[in-house]
Each structure stands twice: as C-alpha cells, then as structure tokens.
Amino acid sequence: MKVAHITTPGGPEVLEIREVPTPAPAPGQLLVRVRAAGVQPFDLAVREGWRPAYARGELPNVPGNEFAGVVVQVGDGVVGSWVGTEVLGFNLLGCYAEYVVVGQDQVVAKPASMSWEVAGGFTAGAQTAQLAWEEVDPRIGEVVLIHGAAGNVGGFAVQLAKLRGARVIGTARPEHHDYLRELGAEPVDYRGDLVDNIRSLAPDGVDVILDGAGREALLATVELAKDLRRTRTLYEHEAGPRLGVATLSGTRTAERLASLVALYDQGNVSSLIRSVHPLEAAADAHRELAVGHGRGKIVLRID
C-alpha cells in the first residue's frame, strides 16, 4: 500500500510516498481501506520530531490521527458484520495511508449524508470541541469566548456551544467574520487591543474560554476569565498550566463520535472543508496548514 512516510524529522519536504506491506487485522481489529484522512496541527508537530507523552513504544513514521473508509477485512473475535461498512474513526497516527488497522471501538458508521472528505476530517475537530465543553460545561445564557473560532476545532466549538444555549464570541481575522456569524458567533478581530475589543461585547467578563490560538490569546484568557477553572488551551501546553489555564485531559471515544455524527446527520452541526489534496501532495497540505489563519478543514483524499 502507499503511505506518506516521514523520512526524518523536518519540514514538509520530509514527507515521502512509499510502498509498504498492507497490514493484517489482529484479533478484535478491522482493516479499513482509507478514502480520506484529516490533516491536523498535531501531524505537523509529529513531522517535526515531537512525540506525545502518552505514546508508548515506537510510533509509526506515518502521520494522521483521523480517517474515513470502507472495512475490507476483520480479525478474529470482531463482533458484528463489518465488512463493506463505510466508517469514520481515529487512531494514534498511521492514517496517511491506503489502509489502516484499528480496533472496532475506534470507528462508527458513516452516514450517507456525510461525504468522504467531511468524514475523513470530522473526528479530531468535533471530538476536541466536545471534550472541551464536557470539561468546562458552558450553560444556557453564559458567555463563551473561543480564540481561533474560524478553524476546524473552533467552528465545531461555536456550534456545540450554541446548541447548549450559550452566547458565543469568536476571535478571527476580519475575512472570516461572516463565516462566524453564519455559525452563530459574534466575531472579534484579534488584532489591535484584543482585551478591549472583547470587553466591548462582554463588559462583565467571560464565563467559559477555549483558547485555540495561543500566545496573546492565552494572556487575554487570563485577563478576561471569571473563573480560570473554566478555561482550556489547545496549544499552550507549558505556559497555560503555569498561568492557571489547563489543557484538555479527556480521550476520544466511539460513543462520543457517534453522538457527534448523529448531530451532523440531523443537520445540527456542519463541517467546512477548506481544501482537499491527494495523498501524494501531503507535503502541500502541511504547507497550507502551517500558514495558519484559514477556516475549515484540510483533508487528504486517498483514491
């Protein structure tokens, strides 16, 4: 099978298309023919040499934590009739590939309403946003602030907070403000005096904050939050906790993913695709994501 392989830590140019043996499913596993895979900031960090502290043993040199495809083979002990089922799911790396093996507890059925591109890039952003709200619990009428609201995680966070009945303020560049209004957020330009700009909309402070931008946004979070226990940062893993802003601590589950897929299928959340690249252009996808300031999701299409 073809994979996008990290030859050595470095820039996008170290991603190389290689032919490797197609894996076989172990007991309890599914072999999935991948049709699409999402591209995340996590993948860029792995490409540059970072490894998550929770990873055990040797990690594959193939990035990608989310995918969608068709189950083509199952291992011993798998419960149910999976072969031929269209699924989306998650894994710790290995998804920039034509095939991936995962546990049956890492996938859910893909609804017909969801395109391959949306399904391939759905898991990470939707689950990250939902994890954040499970931890800090925005409620009806509360003011929620989302830094980096036009990004993939931010877009889901806006919609899920609105479904909870919260009032949402989102920071983004001016060219993304109409998009945020469509999602139900009140947009704020993060350039200039960020704290004053937000206080003009929320003079009494902010109940819940999700920092998806870092740096100045983290400092604004500390200044604007009514209660730092109800704040989370996605990027400032060292500086955030030092200032009282925690990082996410939960883990992805098929049960949570299934509930989010149901929201999509019912038309209660949407997912914006920014661009689609073939597997052979994975390096270009990384370059595009590294520029920042975009809205929606970048996806690899694997035909």
pLDDT at 228 over 90: yes
Query: For 229-248, what is the mean pLDDT?
Result: 95
Q: In order of start, what are the domains of the chain with their CATH numbers? A: 2-122+271-301 (3.90.180.10), 125-243 (3.40.50.720)
pLDDT single digits (tens) 35-59: 999 999 999 999 999 887 777 666 6
pLDDT at 214: 86
* Alpha carbon distance 131, 135 (integer Å): 6
pLDDT at 96 over 70: yes
Residue bearing the bigger pLDDT, 54 or 94:
94
pLDDT classification of 14: cutoffs 50, 70, 90: very high
pLDDT classification of 190: cutoffs 50, 70, 90: confident
* Alpha carbon distance 68, 35 (integer Å): 6
* Alpha carbon distance 170, 180 (integer Å): 7
Q: Which amino acid is at 268?
A: N
pLDDT classification of 226: cutoffs 50, 70, 90: very high
pLDDT at 163 over 80: yes
pLDDT at 50: 86
Instruction: Give every CB contact of residue 152 below 8 A, 6+ residues apart in sequence.
Output: 121, 124, 125, 271, 272, 296, 297
pLDDT at 165 over 80: yes
pLDDT at 59: 67
pLDDT at 158 over 80: yes
Cβ atoms within 10 Å of 14's Cβ, excluding its own: 17
Q: Are 194 and 168 in contact (CB under 8 A)?
A: no
pLDDT at 56: 63
Instruction: Give every CB contact of residue 255 below 8 A, 6+ residues apart in sequence.
Output: none
